[in-house]
Structure 1
Amino acid sequence: MRAPSAVFEPVATHGRATLVARRISDAIGLGLLVDGERLPSEPQLAGALGVSIATVRDALTILRERELLRTQRGRGGGSFVQAPGEIAVAVLEARLLGTALVDLRDLCDHYGAVAGMAAKLAGERAADDDVGLLRGAIDELEAAGSLAARYRAAARCPVEVAAAAQSAQLTGAVIALQTEVGPLVGLAYRDDDGHREAVRRQRAIADAIADADGERARTTTEEHAGELYRRARDLHREMRSRR
């Protein structure tokens, strides 16, 4: 999977340690960096992110304090990901309930536009290997049983599409949007119907990219974003009615 390379694009100048920590923690939450994965060395991270080694060390300290990383000394040592095992449904429900429906719709519209453009470019640029990686991510989504596994596999699919578009900027934008949209629509994968529908739509996107039909890939992606919004909206209303 090549998508995590976008995690290590240069960051902005303000509050760099916090931004580096957020970039890595978002990638862990989305499953782009998996449990037990070893991060690049501190000098490698500093060079890739365009920050000092001191900033990297501060960021890694933040992540260790949040128990998202563990550090091992000596031969074979380094910083290793400690991904949370499960996703708390109550946390996702609270996040969704705390978001106004107009903001939810706006965010999903934004996500659909960005992910849709990435899919269009992937349809024009993707190689066979890119399609293979995307289909592998979809197979992982289909096989996922728990909400956590479904959530992370679903997040990986659009990132693989963006990587297939061969645009680091778009890949970074999709990752950033996933960290905002994911917690709001994640409950759509809790029931089997929502899970099956997500798999079906992701396969339709992959088929369009494999057929080099960028426009179909774009519209299918936008339709998928719309479906996620409708499911999240209906769940939002249902939870409100129970209060």
Structure 2
Amino acid sequence: MTVNPDKTGVQRVVFTPVDTLARVDAVVRRLGDAIDLGLLTDGEQLPGESDLAAQLGVSTVTLREALMALRQRGLVTTRRGRGGGSFVTVPDGPAEDRLLARLADWSTEELRDLADHWAAVSGAAARLAARRTEPADLRQLQRSLAELVHAEDSGARSRVYGRFHVELAAAAQSARLTREEVTLQTEVGALLRLVLCDDRFLRDAADRHRAVISAVHDGAGDRARDLAEQCVQASMARLVELRLGPVGGVRGPRPKEAPDGQQPPSRERRVGTA
């Protein structure tokens, strides 16, 4: 299957090496989120196992375990024989169910750590954009804001939300920050559908984006940084709230967490230390 040339830049980010810890889970998250974000489309063929494992920086054994998990979730189909390989499959069922199950794979500590990282990147991008961008160069950000306000479904909202932060980094004229924003969207972009389905939160997010654009336009670097950080932290805080709610029991991979992200002691441990 021929890959759209326009997607090669995005896919280079999707297929960059994953973190060294829990690599099977990391591969499943990376590819699963890319599918839910539409970065990998229904019917699209993934690179061969050897090539994909090398691009992701994992062993073929790790990749095969990840592909097995993706097949179990209905996100990948593997065909044998001539013309075979692994192909993206977008399930017919509600995306929200898949996303809630995926959110249960994250601990609140991981979500908060991701929030700090993303806020730092977006904050730095906003501060630099305020210094380096001319008012006339803000059209893309304004266009994305308008699309966010009028987007009707959560999938479109999450894509535009993520694109805004990528464009903010591009306005900072920083290639590294832009690449980092794209990478972050492959991690968290799909999960944002869970919070952007709420019209009230959407309006709040749009107001925050509008305030960021205003600060960048005014050349107020510190204010732009603070507003961009608040925008990210508000979204991630909502995800943490969802993770601490009933969603935590969707798949049951982890014990229930305390609000600080720590695991409560088991009953046996409490008895033993009494």
TM range (shorter): 0.5 to 0.7
Aligned partners of 1:227 and 1:174: how far apart in 2? Answer: 17
Contact 2:126/2:228 (<8 A) preserved: yes
Preserved contact between residue 29 and residue 152 of structure 1 (Cα < 8 Å): no
Corresponding position of 2:129: 122
Deviation at 1:26, TM superposition (A): 7.2
Determine the structure 1 residue equivalent to 2:10.
7
Between the two proteins, the alignment pairs up a number of residues equal to 195
User: Is the 1:30–1:156 Cα contact (8 Å) retained in structure 2?
Assistant: no
TM-score, normalised via structure 2 length: 0.60
**Unaligned residue ranges in structure 1 (runs of 5+):** 16-21, 36-60, 69-83
Query: CA 1:26/1:131 → structure 2, altered by over 3 Å: closer, same or farther?
Result: farther
**Superposition deviation, residue 130 in structure 1:** 2.8
Asked whether 1:108 is paired with 2:115, we answer: yes
After superposition, the C-alpha distances for 1:127-180 in whole angstroms (9 at most, x for unaligned) are: 334311100001000000111111111111101101111111110000101111
- Deviation at residue 200 of structure 1 after TM alignment: 0.7
Q: Do the aligned partners of residues 94 and 163 (structure 1) sit closer, same or farther apart at CA in structure 2, a change above 3 Å counting?
A: same
Alpha-carbon shift at residue 33 of structure 1 (Å)? 9.5
Do the aligned partners of 2:37 and 2:155 also contact (CA within 8 Å) in 1? no
Match for 1:193 among 191, 200, 206? 200
Deviation at 1:224, TM superposition (A): 1.1
Query: Is 2:156 aligned against 1:134?
Result: no
Higher helix share: 1
The change in CA–CA distance for 1:192 and 1:14 in structure 2 (over 3 A counts) is: closer
Write the distance in 2 (CA, Å) between the matches of 1:33 and 1:211: 38
After TM superposition, the score normalised by the length of structure 1 is 0.67
Deviations 1:27-84 (A, max 9, x none): 786568999xxxxxxxxxxxxxxxxxxxxxxxxx99993269xxxxxxxxxxxxxxx9
2:80 maps to 1:97: no
Matches within 5 A, 1:1-243: 7=10, 30=37, 65-66=87-88, 88-240=95-247
Aligned residues of 2:14 and 2:34 also touching (Cα < 8 A)? no
Please report how far the alpha carbon of residue 188 of structure 1 lies from its aligned counterpart in structure 2 after TM superposition.
1.0
Contact kept, 8 Å, 1:86 with 1:148, in 2: the verdict is no
Distance 2:170 2:92 in 1: 26
Q: Which amino acid aligns with 1:132?
A: R
Contact 2:103 2:247 in 1 (8 A): no
SS at match of 1:65: strand
Return structure 1 stretches of 4+ with deviation > 4 angstroms: 8-15, 22-35, 61-64, 84-87, 240-243
Shift of 1:8: 7.6
Query: Would the alpha carbon gap of residues 93 and 13 (structure 1) be closer, same or farther in structure 2, given more than 3 Å must change?
Result: closer
Distance change in 2, residues 1:231/1:65 (3 Å) = same
Distance 1:24 1:167, change over 3 A: farther
1:239 is displaced (CA, Å) by 1.9
Distance 2:41 2:135 in 1: 25
Q: Is the contact made by 1:28 and 1:34 (CA closer than 8 Å) also made in structure 2?
A: yes
Deviations 1:5-31 (A, max 9, x none): 96387999989xxxxxx9999778656
Residues 214 and 196 (structure 1 numbering): CA distance in 2 closer, same or farther, change over 3 Å? Answer: same
**Alpha-carbon distance between aligned partners in 1 of 2:85 and 2:214, rounded to the nearest angstrom:** 38
SS of the counterpart of 1:183?
Answer: coil
Identical residues among aligned pairs (%): 40
Cα distance in 2 for partners of 1:114, 1:7 equals 18
Change (3 A) 1:218 1:146: same
Per the TM alignment, residue 186 of structure 1 is displaced from its structure 2 partner at its CA by: 2.9
